[in-house]
Amino acid sequence: MPQRDLEILTRQAMQAVRETALFLHQEVSQVKPGQVEEKHLNGLVSYVDRTAEEMLVERLHRILPEAAFITEEGTVEQAAAGGLQWIIDPLDGTTNYLYGLPHYSVSVGLRAGADMLVGIVHHVPNDEMFYAWREGGAWCNDERIRASNRNTLRQSLVATGFPYHKFSRADGWFAALRTFIAEGRAVRRYGSAALDLAFVACGRFDIFFEYGLNAWDVAGGALLVHEAGGRISDFQGGNTFVDGGELLACNPAVYDQALAIIMASFTDKPA
């Protein structure tokens, strides 16, 4: 797809994201305890997630009718591998949202085969729209963004996600965390992988790692990191980070150091 067409497509998808984000904002204080379910251990869902997903699917389908969908809440038939795929999370950071913490996002990625073409992450409470299209750079609210240039681990602010329902690799995660705490600047855990990736792309974080992820957690942010000049991989330095359940994203100067720590800590493979 030509780059100009990708830019137009990205901006159309951004409007669909804005409309979905407006719904999230309007409903933020309306959800009652009886309207919240636990779909798996520590994984909450409400009518807001499902309605937002239906809204986003309907709008994206109008933009690109030939594309299939991979979604978190399963409100539409899920895509098989290959072809054009929208990979979406209508509310990344549901627990934050339900508990009144202003850190949640809408995440949208468009993939053709193995190639990410479009990535959008909207930080709803801050009204920050992060977006990228392939070979078009990474942007936030029409300003170009770049990964940071801090070049030592001691200077690096590290982000992660706590293991909260897949504990089989927790020992590796604790080992990596211990090293980053001892050798990095500080560690943060905010509860939205999509925003963590956006923050690597704009230089707020230098390193982000997490396992137990799904494609919809990372598809929107992965292209942001790449187009912002960052580096992104799985825990072995490979390229299975969208579907493989594990991800390391860094500024390019500290990637090799961070990958060495991850590889030394996680000696197993993802389940």
pTM: 0.92
Per-residue confidence (pLDDT) for residue 27, from 0 to 100:
84
Spans in the chain with pLDDT lower than 70:
1-2, 31-46, 165, 269-271
Report pLDDT digits (tens) over 224-235: 999 999 999 999
Where in the chain is CATH 3.40.190.80?
153-265
Query: CATH top-level class for 153-265?
Result: alpha beta
| CATH H-level, domain 3-144: superfamily | Fructose-1,6-Bisphosphatase, subunit A, domain 1 (3.30.540.10)
Where in the chain is CATH 3.30.540.10?
3-144
Q: Regarding beta strands 115-123 and 128-133, do their DSSP bridges make them parallel or antiparallel, or are they unpaired?
A: antiparallel
Per-residue confidence (pLDDT) for residue 41, from 0 to 100:
43
